[in-house]
Amino acid sequence: MAKQDIFDDETFFEGYRKIRDNEANANILFEMPALFSLLPDMEGKTVLDLGCGFGEHCIEYIRRGAARVVGIDISKKMLEIARKENSDPRIEYIEMPMEDIGMMKTKFDIVTSSLAIHYVEDFSGVTSSIYELLSDGGIFLFSQEHPLSTCYSGNADRWIRDESGNKQYLKLENYSREGEKEYRWFVDGVIKYHRMFSTIVNSLIQTGFILERMEEPLPDEDILERFPQHSDLFHKPDFLIIRARR
Protein backbone atom coordinates (compact mmCIF):
# COMPACT_ATOMS: atom_id res chain seq x y z
CA MET A 1 0.00 0.00 0.00
CA ALA A 2 1.37 3.44 -0.93
CA LYS A 3 2.29 5.65 2.00
CA GLN A 4 0.06 8.68 2.42
CA ASP A 5 1.74 12.01 1.69
CA ILE A 6 -1.12 14.43 2.19
CA PHE A 7 1.25 17.18 3.35
CA ASP A 8 2.56 17.71 -0.17
CA ASP A 9 -0.92 18.60 -1.42
CA GLU A 10 -0.71 22.37 -1.98
CA THR A 11 -4.13 23.19 -0.48
CA PHE A 12 -3.54 20.99 2.56
CA PHE A 13 0.00 22.29 3.08
CA GLU A 14 -1.02 25.96 3.04
CA GLY A 15 -3.95 25.31 5.39
CA TYR A 16 -1.75 23.36 7.77
CA ARG A 17 0.94 26.05 7.81
CA LYS A 18 -1.62 28.76 8.67
CA ILE A 19 -2.77 26.70 11.65
CA ARG A 20 0.81 26.21 12.87
CA ASP A 21 1.40 29.97 12.61
CA ASN A 22 -1.65 30.75 14.78
CA GLU A 23 -0.70 31.64 18.37
CA ALA A 24 -3.84 29.87 19.64
CA ASN A 25 -2.70 26.63 18.01
CA ALA A 26 -3.10 23.69 20.42
CA ASN A 27 0.20 22.16 19.23
CA ILE A 28 2.12 25.18 20.49
CA LEU A 29 0.05 25.71 23.63
CA PHE A 30 -0.22 22.12 24.91
CA GLU A 31 1.38 19.40 22.82
CA MET A 32 4.91 20.76 22.36
CA PRO A 33 5.43 21.90 25.98
CA ALA A 34 4.15 18.55 27.29
CA LEU A 35 6.33 16.59 24.86
CA PHE A 36 9.44 18.62 25.67
CA SER A 37 8.80 18.27 29.42
CA LEU A 38 9.22 14.50 29.06
CA LEU A 39 12.50 14.65 27.14
CA PRO A 40 15.49 13.05 28.87
CA ASP A 41 18.85 14.80 29.19
CA MET A 42 19.94 15.31 25.58
CA GLU A 43 23.55 16.34 26.14
CA GLY A 44 25.74 14.42 23.69
CA LYS A 45 22.86 12.18 22.58
CA THR A 46 21.94 10.94 19.10
CA VAL A 47 18.30 11.57 18.22
CA LEU A 48 15.90 10.36 15.52
CA ASP A 49 12.78 12.48 14.94
CA LEU A 50 10.02 10.70 13.00
CA GLY A 51 7.74 12.91 10.94
CA CYS A 52 10.00 15.88 11.62
CA GLY A 53 7.91 18.34 9.57
CA PHE A 54 9.40 21.83 9.58
CA GLY A 55 12.30 20.73 11.79
CA GLU A 56 11.40 22.81 14.87
CA HIS A 57 11.95 19.84 17.14
CA CYS A 58 15.26 18.92 15.52
CA ILE A 59 16.73 22.37 16.08
CA GLU A 60 15.40 22.39 19.65
CA TYR A 61 17.20 19.13 20.36
CA ILE A 62 20.45 20.71 19.16
CA ARG A 63 19.83 23.65 21.51
CA ARG A 64 19.42 21.12 24.32
CA GLY A 65 22.83 19.65 23.60
CA ALA A 66 22.18 16.75 21.22
CA ALA A 67 25.31 15.71 19.33
CA ARG A 68 23.48 14.51 16.22
CA VAL A 69 19.87 14.64 15.04
CA VAL A 70 18.29 12.85 12.11
CA GLY A 71 14.86 14.08 11.02
CA ILE A 72 12.81 12.03 8.60
CA ASP A 73 9.62 12.98 6.81
CA ILE A 74 7.72 11.77 3.77
CA SER A 75 6.90 15.33 2.68
CA LYS A 76 9.23 17.16 0.28
CA LYS A 77 7.54 20.47 1.12
CA MET A 78 8.08 20.01 4.83
CA LEU A 79 11.72 19.11 4.39
CA GLU A 80 12.36 22.09 2.11
CA ILE A 81 11.27 24.39 4.92
CA ALA A 82 13.17 22.38 7.54
CA ARG A 83 16.42 22.67 5.59
CA LYS A 84 15.85 26.40 5.00
CA GLU A 85 14.64 27.48 8.44
CA ASN A 86 16.02 24.90 10.89
CA SER A 87 19.36 23.75 9.51
CA ASP A 88 22.50 22.93 11.48
CA PRO A 89 25.62 20.90 10.60
CA ARG A 90 24.58 18.38 13.25
CA ILE A 91 21.13 17.83 11.68
CA GLU A 92 20.47 15.53 8.74
CA TYR A 93 17.05 15.61 7.07
CA ILE A 94 16.00 12.51 5.09
CA GLU A 95 12.95 12.02 2.89
CA MET A 96 11.56 8.71 4.13
CA PRO A 97 8.26 7.30 5.40
CA MET A 98 8.30 6.08 9.00
CA GLU A 99 7.38 2.60 7.82
CA ASP A 100 10.83 2.29 6.17
CA ILE A 101 13.05 3.10 9.16
CA GLY A 102 13.90 -0.58 9.55
CA MET A 103 16.38 -0.03 6.70
CA MET A 104 18.41 2.36 8.86
CA LYS A 105 21.52 0.91 10.48
CA THR A 106 22.47 3.66 12.95
CA LYS A 107 21.65 3.27 16.65
CA PHE A 108 20.02 6.19 18.50
CA ASP A 109 19.77 7.18 22.15
CA ILE A 110 16.37 8.85 21.70
CA VAL A 111 13.57 8.47 19.14
CA THR A 112 10.79 11.07 19.09
CA SER A 113 7.68 11.66 17.04
CA SER A 114 5.24 14.55 17.25
CA LEU A 115 1.68 14.01 15.96
CA ALA A 116 2.64 11.61 13.18
CA ILE A 117 2.03 8.11 14.56
CA HIS A 118 -1.72 8.27 13.86
CA TYR A 119 -0.92 8.41 10.11
CA VAL A 120 0.79 4.99 10.33
CA GLU A 121 -1.24 1.87 9.62
CA ASP A 122 1.25 -0.68 10.99
CA PHE A 123 1.86 0.67 14.49
CA SER A 124 3.40 -2.53 15.85
CA GLY A 125 5.72 -2.78 12.84
CA VAL A 126 6.99 0.78 13.30
CA THR A 127 7.44 0.39 17.07
CA SER A 128 9.39 -2.84 16.50
CA SER A 129 11.72 -0.96 14.14
CA ILE A 130 12.12 1.83 16.69
CA TYR A 131 12.98 -0.72 19.38
CA GLU A 132 15.73 -2.18 17.20
CA LEU A 133 17.14 1.28 16.41
CA LEU A 134 17.37 2.30 20.06
CA SER A 135 20.43 1.70 22.20
CA ASP A 136 19.88 -0.21 25.44
CA GLY A 137 18.07 2.12 27.85
CA GLY A 138 17.07 4.40 24.97
CA ILE A 139 13.90 6.48 25.07
CA PHE A 140 10.96 6.47 22.66
CA LEU A 141 8.83 9.58 23.20
CA PHE A 142 5.84 10.29 20.98
CA SER A 143 2.60 12.23 20.78
CA GLN A 144 -0.46 11.43 18.73
CA GLU A 145 -4.02 12.58 18.35
CA HIS A 146 -5.98 11.34 21.32
CA PRO A 147 -7.84 8.03 20.75
CA LEU A 148 -11.05 9.87 21.69
CA SER A 149 -10.46 11.94 18.54
CA THR A 150 -9.16 9.35 16.11
CA CYS A 151 -12.25 7.15 16.57
CA TYR A 152 -14.33 9.50 14.39
CA SER A 153 -14.66 9.54 10.62
CA GLY A 154 -16.42 12.04 8.39
CA ASN A 155 -17.17 15.59 9.46
CA ALA A 156 -20.31 15.41 11.61
CA ASP A 157 -20.36 17.62 14.71
CA ARG A 158 -18.78 15.69 17.57
CA TRP A 159 -20.45 17.79 20.25
CA ILE A 160 -23.83 18.23 21.90
CA ARG A 161 -24.28 21.97 22.20
CA ASP A 162 -26.57 24.36 24.08
CA GLU A 163 -28.80 26.92 22.36
CA SER A 164 -25.89 29.33 22.09
CA GLY A 165 -23.68 26.76 20.40
CA ASN A 166 -21.45 26.13 23.41
CA LYS A 167 -20.06 22.60 23.72
CA GLN A 168 -21.72 20.64 26.53
CA TYR A 169 -20.95 16.95 25.94
CA LEU A 170 -18.85 14.85 23.60
CA LYS A 171 -20.70 12.47 21.29
CA LEU A 172 -18.42 9.44 21.42
CA GLU A 173 -18.79 6.94 18.59
CA ASN A 174 -17.06 3.81 17.28
CA TYR A 175 -14.26 3.91 19.84
CA SER A 176 -13.82 0.14 19.68
CA ARG A 177 -13.85 0.00 15.86
CA GLU A 178 -10.18 0.28 15.06
CA GLY A 179 -8.56 0.93 11.72
CA GLU A 180 -8.62 3.43 8.88
CA LYS A 181 -10.67 6.61 9.27
CA GLU A 182 -11.18 9.17 6.50
CA TYR A 183 -11.65 12.89 7.12
CA ARG A 184 -11.91 16.18 5.36
CA TRP A 185 -9.20 18.46 6.75
CA PHE A 186 -8.59 21.25 4.21
CA VAL A 187 -9.04 18.56 1.52
CA ASP A 188 -10.99 15.32 1.18
CA GLY A 189 -9.42 11.94 1.76
CA VAL A 190 -7.15 12.56 4.76
CA ILE A 191 -6.47 9.11 6.26
CA LYS A 192 -5.68 8.45 9.93
CA TYR A 193 -5.62 5.20 11.87
CA HIS A 194 -7.57 4.73 15.08
CA ARG A 195 -6.32 2.51 17.88
CA MET A 196 -7.75 2.04 21.35
CA PHE A 197 -5.64 2.86 24.42
CA SER A 198 -5.26 -0.85 25.11
CA THR A 199 -3.93 -1.53 21.62
CA ILE A 200 -1.36 1.27 21.86
CA VAL A 201 -0.15 0.25 25.31
CA ASN A 202 -0.15 -3.50 24.66
CA SER A 203 1.72 -3.09 21.36
CA LEU A 204 4.48 -1.18 23.13
CA ILE A 205 4.67 -3.75 25.93
CA GLN A 206 4.70 -6.69 23.52
CA THR A 207 7.53 -5.05 21.58
CA GLY A 208 9.57 -4.96 24.79
CA PHE A 209 9.21 -1.33 25.87
CA ILE A 210 8.85 -0.30 29.50
CA LEU A 211 6.23 2.45 29.82
CA GLU A 212 7.49 5.34 31.94
CA ARG A 213 4.91 8.10 31.57
CA MET A 214 1.65 9.06 29.85
CA GLU A 215 0.27 12.59 29.54
CA GLU A 216 -3.02 14.06 28.26
CA PRO A 217 -2.14 17.78 28.40
CA LEU A 218 -4.72 20.30 29.57
CA PRO A 219 -4.75 24.12 29.60
CA ASP A 220 -3.69 26.00 32.71
CA GLU A 221 -5.51 29.07 34.04
CA ASP A 222 -3.32 31.49 32.09
CA ILE A 223 -4.08 29.75 28.78
CA LEU A 224 -7.79 29.57 29.59
CA GLU A 225 -7.86 33.29 30.31
CA ARG A 226 -6.24 34.07 26.95
CA PHE A 227 -7.93 31.35 24.89
CA PRO A 228 -11.18 30.32 26.61
CA GLN A 229 -12.18 28.17 23.63
CA HIS A 230 -9.75 25.53 24.86
CA SER A 231 -11.94 24.77 27.89
CA ASP A 232 -13.41 21.97 25.75
CA LEU A 233 -10.25 19.97 26.50
CA PHE A 234 -11.72 19.20 29.92
CA HIS A 235 -14.35 17.16 28.04
CA LYS A 236 -11.87 15.52 25.64
CA PRO A 237 -8.08 15.95 25.57
CA ASP A 238 -6.67 16.53 22.10
CA PHE A 239 -3.38 14.69 22.58
CA LEU A 240 -1.86 11.56 24.07
CA ILE A 241 1.85 11.56 24.90
CA ILE A 242 3.78 8.44 25.88
CA ARG A 243 7.37 7.98 27.05
CA ALA A 244 8.76 4.44 26.89
CA ARG A 245 12.21 2.96 27.49
CA ARG A 246 13.98 0.08 25.78
Q: How many domains does the chain have?
A: 1
**Structural domain includes residue 176:** yes
pLDDT tens for the chain, 246 residues long, are 445 555 556 665 666 666 666 666 888 888 999 999 999 999 999 999 999 999 999 999 999 999 999 999 998 988 999 999 999 999 999 999 999 999 998 999 999 999 999 999 999 999 999 999 999 999 999 999 999 999 988 777 889 999 988 888 888 889 999 999 887 655 556 889 999 999 999 999 999 999 999 999 998 899 899 988 888 999 999 999 999 999
Q: Of 233, 183, 235, 246, which Cα lies nearest the Cα of 34?
A: 233
- Sign, CA dihedral 141-142-146-150, equals negative
CATH number of 121's domain: 3.40.50.150
pLDDT value at residue 11: 62
In a domain, 225, yes or no: yes
Q: Would strands 210-215 and 239-245 be described as parallel, antiparallel, or unpaired?
A: antiparallel
Tell me the per-residue pLDDT of 5-22, one tens digit each, with 9 for 90 and over.
Answer: 555 566 656 666 666 666
Residue 1 covered by a domain: no
In a domain, 171, yes or no: yes
Q: Which of 216, 239, 232 is nearest to 157 (CA)?
A: 232
Judged by DSSP in three states, 228 sits in helix
- 81, 54 in Cβ contact below 8 A? yes
pLDDT one-digit tens code per residue, 18-70: 666 666 688 888 899 999 999 999 999 999 999 999 999 999 999 999 999 99
Range of the structural domain that residue 213 is part of: 6-245
Provide the sign of the torsion angle of the four alpha carbons 206, 207, 212, 216, taken in this order: negative
Is residue 118, in this structure, part of any structural domain at all?
A: yes
Residue 234 lies in a domain: yes
Rounded to two decimals, what is the model's pTM? 0.90
